[in-house]
Structure 1
Amino acid sequence: MTINLTKYGLTTAVQVDLTKENGQILGRIIGQHRDWYQVITTAGERSAQVTGKLAYEAASPAAFPAVGDWVYLASSADNQAQIEAIEPRQSVLARGAVNHQDGQIIATNINTIFICMSLNADFNVRRLERYLTIAWDSGALPVIVLTKADVSVGVPTITCSAETGQGLDELQPYLTTGQTVAFVGSSGVGKSTLINRLLGQDILATKSIRTDDDKGRHTTTSRQLIPLPTGACVIDTPGMRELQIFMGDLNQTFAEIAALATQCKFNDCTHTSEPGCAVRAAVEAGTVTSERLQSYQKLQREMSYQGLNSRQLEQAKIQRMFGGKQAMKRVKQRYHRD
C-alpha cells in the first residue's frame, strides 16, 4: 500500500523530491521516543535512528530531528532505517532546557499553535504570556483556545468545549489540507480530548483534572503527529507546567510595552528607575499593570540571548530554524518558485 504524504502535510510549498538521486527516501517524523523516531514514508511507517555522521555534525540538541521534520532516510529493505538528512525547517517551536543553555524543540514545520488553557483554579495569565512569547518566535501563528475570550489582545481567541462541541467550527479554518497544527498547554487542559473530537474517535488517552486543585495529570508522554480527516495534521505534546524560555518574541507578546519603550528618553531604558521612562509613566497612570511589566522584565532576563545585538539575534534564529543562511536561501527560493 502506498501512503499519500499530502495526508501528513506535504505541500508544494515544501517542494521536496520524494526520492533523492542517491536513493534516499523522504519521510516525516511523526513520533519520537528518546533516540528512536517514527517516520512516515510513501511505503508506510518506519522506525529510524540518526546516522553517526548526522549525530557527529549536530552542533546542538536542536540540530537533531524533531516531530514535524521532513527527513531523508537511507534506502533499506527492512523496517529499520537511518536518518541521513533533515530538510530546512519552515518554523520551530522550542523551549528552554534544564541546563538553560540549549533549546528543546517541541515541534517543527507547523502553521498554527493552539495554546490550550482552561479557565479554572489553575488558570495563569503569566503562563499564557510565556506560551505566547515562544509561539510568536516560532514562525507559526498562535491561537488561544479557552473557555471564554477575554484574556489576550491581538491574538485570535476561541471559546471551545470538546464536551459540547462549542467552538469546534471556529477551529476548522486552521485545519485545512496541508496545514500542521501543534497543541500546547499544561496537563489536564483537554488537548488530547479536543484532538479526539477532531479525529472523530478516541485515539489518544485522556485523564480528567484533579478535583482538589484543578491541576492536570500527565496523559500524553511523547510528541506525535496525527493526520485529521480534514487533511490537516495535528501534533499533540506533553503537558508543560514549567515552561522555560529559550528564545522568544517579547515585542509581540507585550506589544503595548514595546510601543511605549520607543518613547522612553533612553534607548537602553530598563524601565526601572531611569528618568523619562514612558513605560513606568504608563504603569503609574494605570494603563499598564505593574504585574504585566514585571512579567515582561522577568522573561527578558530569562531569555538566553540577552546581550546579543540585533545582527547576532538574527543569526541565532536563522541557525536554529534553517541550519544556516544557505539553507534559508533555499527555502526562500522554493516559495518564490511557487
Structure 2
Amino acid sequence: MTEHQIIERLRRIGWRDGPLPADGLRLARVAAQHRAGYELHDGEHSFGAQPAGHFLKRGLDPSERPAVGDFVEVEPGQPPHIVRVLPRRTVLSRAAAGERYERQLIAANIDYVLVLTGLDGDFNPARIERYLSLTEDSGAQPVVLLSKLDASADAIGRIDALRERLPEGTPIHAINGKDPASVAVLAQYLQPGDSAVLVGSSGAGKSTLTNTLLGIDKMATGAVRAHDSRGRHTTTHRALLPLPSGGCLIDTPGMRELKLTGEENLDLFADIEELAESCRFADCGHGSEPGCAVQAALDSGELAPERWRNYLKLRDEREEQAATLEARLRRQRGGRPVERPHSPRGKRERD
C-alpha cells in the first residue's frame, strides 16, 4: 500500500496531515480501552493491542497513557504494542472523583463536544453550564443538543430560556434522537475527517442518537425512571465509532460527577465577571456593599439568581481545584507552600 493510500485510509478516522511513523511502525487510533487492553482502528480494520511497558510504570500521570481518540504508533507483534502517543491537538478532560487530584481524559483529538440533555425531567441548565465550562479548556467547540423533542410539552419555552442563559452564538439544537430527519442537522459537525464526542447524563438518549447516526442498532438502549428521567448506564465504556457520514463519534457512559480541573476560565460567565468589575469596591463581596453592580443586576432582573448561584458554585470549585493542583505541582518539585499575603481589612474603592 502506498503512503497516499495509507493517509487516505487514516483520514476516515480523523487523521490530519502529518508524517507517518518510521519503518516498521503502524499508525492507528484508539477506539476503546478495556481492562484487557486497547481496541485500535487503522481506517479499515479494528484490532487489539497492548500498551508498551513504559505506559505501565507506577506513578505515571494517567494523562500520559493512551486515551480514546489518541493517534498512536504501534509495533507489530502478537499482540501488537502501542509504543507512542502522538501529540494531541485537543483534549476533553475532567478531574477524577476522590480527594486525590488526578485529571481524567474523556476524549482526545476532537473537533466538537456534543452536550446532550433531555427536554424531559433530565433538563438541567446548570448541568449544561458545567459541561460547557469543562469544554472551554478542551480546544473543541461545544454544541448543545436537546433530545426527546417529541416527548416535551414545553420545548419552546425551555429552549428560549436556555438561549438567554448561554453565551450568544452557542449552537443549540432540539432533536428527536429516534428520527433520522431530525438529527440531520448534526451532519455539519460530522463531516469526513471530523471527530465529535457525545456527553450527557444516563438516560439523555446518547445511545439512541448514536444508533440513529450509525443507521443500525449497535448500542444498547434502556428505559428511564419516571420520576426524574434518569437511566441506567447502557454504555459501559468510551468508544470511537466511524459513521456513514465520514465523521467519527465517541460515545461515552453517563457521567455522575463532573469535577472541574482548576484550569477553566469560566468564559461562559464573562458577563457576570464584567459586572463584578463595575462594582464600587474592588474587593466587593457582592452582598450588602454599596455600589454593588452584581446586586443591582439581581434586583433588576438582568441577572437570574439561579445563574448567579451556579457561577459562584463553579468559581469556588475551580479555585479549590486550582489550589489542589498547585499544591500537587509544588510537591512534585520538592518546594514548600508559598505564603500568600493577607488582604487588608475594609473595603477598597476602585481608582
Q: Which residue of 2 aligns with 1:85?
A: 84
* Closer/same/farther in 2, CA of residues 93 and 116 from structure 1, 3 Å limit: same
Q: Share of identical aligned residues, percent?
A: 40
Q: Which residue of 2 aligns with 1:328?
A: none
Q: Return the alpha-carbon distance in structure 1 between the equivalents of residues 43 and 310 of structure 2.
A: 47
Q: Return the alpha-carbon distance in structure 2 between the equivalents of residues 126 and 170 of structure 1.
A: 25
TM-score, normalised via structure 2 length: 0.79
Matches within 5 A, 1:77-156: 78=78, 80-100=79-99, 101-146=101-146, 147=149, 148=155, 149-150=159-160, 151-152=162-163, 153=166, 154=168, 155-156=170-171
CA shift for structure 1 position 308 = 9.6
CA shift for structure 1 position 295 = 1.0
Q: Deviations over 1:136-186 (max 9, x none)?
A: 221101011113432133210001102334532211111101000110000
Conserved? CA contact 2:13–2:42, under 8 Å? no
Matches within 5 A, 1:202-241: 202-241=217-256
Q: Which residue of 2 aligns with 1:326?
A: none
Q: Does 1:41 align with 2:42?
A: yes
Conserved? CA contact 2:13–2:43, under 8 Å? no
Unaligned runs of 5+ in 1: 317-338
SS at match of 1:264: coil
Report the AA paired with residue 126 of structure 1.
A
Conserved? CA contact 2:28–2:74, under 8 Å? yes
* Closer/same/farther in 2, CA of residues 217 and 179 from structure 1, 3 Å limit: same
Which stretch shifts more, 294-303 or 160-169? 160-169
SS at match of 2:27: strand
CA shift for structure 1 position 300 = 1.4
Q: 1:5 aligns with which of 10, 15, 19?
A: 10
CA shift for structure 1 position 248 = 5.5
Q: Which residue of 1 aligns with 2:32?
A: 31
CA shift for structure 1 position 262 = 3.1
Q: Which residue of 1 aligns with 2:56?
A: 55
Conserved? CA contact 1:58–1:64, under 8 Å? no
SS at match of 2:80: strand
Q: Does 1:284 align with 2:284?
A: no
Q: 1:171 aligns with which of 145, 165, 186?
A: 186
SS at match of 1:218: coil
* Closer/same/farther in 2, CA of residues 43 and 129 from structure 1, 3 Å limit: closer
Report the AA paired with residue 105 of structure 1.
L
CA shift for structure 1 position 272 = 4.6
Report the AA paired with residue 95 of structure 2.
G
Q: Deviations over 1:91-142 (max 9, x none)?
A: 1111121124111111111000110000112321211111111012211010
Which stretch shifts more, 109-118 or 61-70? 61-70
Which stretch shifts more, 186-195 or 31-40? 31-40
From the CA coordinates, give the structure whose radius of gyration is larger: 2
* Closer/same/farther in 2, CA of residues 248 and 166 from structure 1, 3 Å limit: farther
Q: Does 1:254 align with 2:269?
A: yes
Q: Which residue of 2 aligns with 1:196?
A: 211
* Closer/same/farther in 2, CA of residues 260 and 73 from structure 1, 3 Å limit: same
Q: Deviations over 1:271-323 (max 9, x none)?
A: 456554322331222211222112111111212543599xx8xxx9xxxxxxx
TM-score, normalised via structure 1 length: 0.82
CA shift for structure 1 position 250 = 4.7
Which stretch shifts more, 58-67 or 195-204? 58-67
Conserved? CA contact 2:96–2:102, under 8 Å? yes
Report the AA paired with residue 300 of structure 1.
R
Q: Return the alpha-carbon distance in structure 2 between the equivalents of residues 292 and 28 of structure 1.
A: 39
Which stretch shifts more, 125-134 or 42-51? 42-51
Q: Which has the higher contact order (CA 8 A, sep 6+)?
A: 1
Unaligned runs of 5+ in 2: 150-154, 330-351
